[in-house]
Structure 1
Amino acid sequence: MAHVLVTGGVRSGKSRYAEQLLADVEQVTYLAAGYPTGDDPEWNARVAAHQLHRPASWRTVETLELAQGVREADRPVLIDCLGTWLTRTFDTWEAWEAPVASWEPRLNREVAELASAISAHPSDVIVVTNEVGWGLVSEYPAGRIFADHLGRLNQVIAAACDQVVLLVAGRPITL
């Protein structure tokens, strides 16, 4: 059993690497936070490309309820990805313009529940996320909120995992 956080920049090969970790497993629950939307054809094409890489025997669950999805899975789990989950969660909560204090306690609870579910899962859990903080601090409040909270989220989930792998130009570096 392995609990692995796979992190890296956009288009670094994170998802493909995470899928390869479970390539020999016939039944996987794939928790997808980046599901198609009706109004963004470019995003929908990205989602479709990701779907093509998954074996037909894997069960895809498009959800923002990641902790619940991990708890309910009776097989290995792949979560893709925490950055998309955080964005979708903020959208759902209308958090981008709201005072941080109005939603941060709820976010902290959900992150703690996810970390607990990952730690307790009796099978493999592979979690994909984006690495943040290697560039300039955003001039926009939404960018700063996202980077700050994804960075914290990544730290909590990394602590719940046995291993962290950084992908750079498609190459894994075990941390």
Structure 2
Amino acid sequence: MSRFITITLDSRGVSCRARLLEAEAPRTCAAVWEALPLTAPVFHGKYARNEIYTLLPRFGQDPGKENTTITPIPGDVCWFTFDGADLGNPAYGYEAQEDHRDAGQGGIIDLALFYGRNNLLINGDQGWVPGNVFAEIVEGLPQMAQACQDVWMGGARGKTLTLARADG
């Protein structure tokens, strides 16, 4: 039986529902599921294109690479693991109080939702950045995409993203 999560742009009151891809990414799904609920500042992708994401202190066991992509499609939800120096360039624009580079367990986890087409996971400092696709949005993508565009155009400062367990 499939397990589901909700992803919510809190201040905009918009949520979508995603099915965990447990057959394709079992380690990543387990790590996320055990850590839920999670709430942290939301950011909009600068390089990947149609992406919102949140940065969290490292939690659980790092799943390693599984079900990876560098070209996520609309509705993909991905996991990325970064070490402290990976996002250290000030061009990324993270403010000190929102920056998790020095998280207690070392490094950060980036959980990202892709809401539109033509995404390419390349970073000018790091090169290709494959992500683990661990969930797919099954309900609410059009409304979430509209809200994500508002984050892009209206700004993310002070806004949060919440991931939580959903009923089957």
Give the TM bin, normalised by the shorter chain: under 0.3
Q: Which has the higher strand share?
A: 2
More helix as a share of residues: 1
Query: Which protein shows a greater Rg?
Result: 1
| TM-score between the two structures when normalised by the length of structure 1 | 0.25
Give the TM-score taking structure 2 as reference length.
0.26
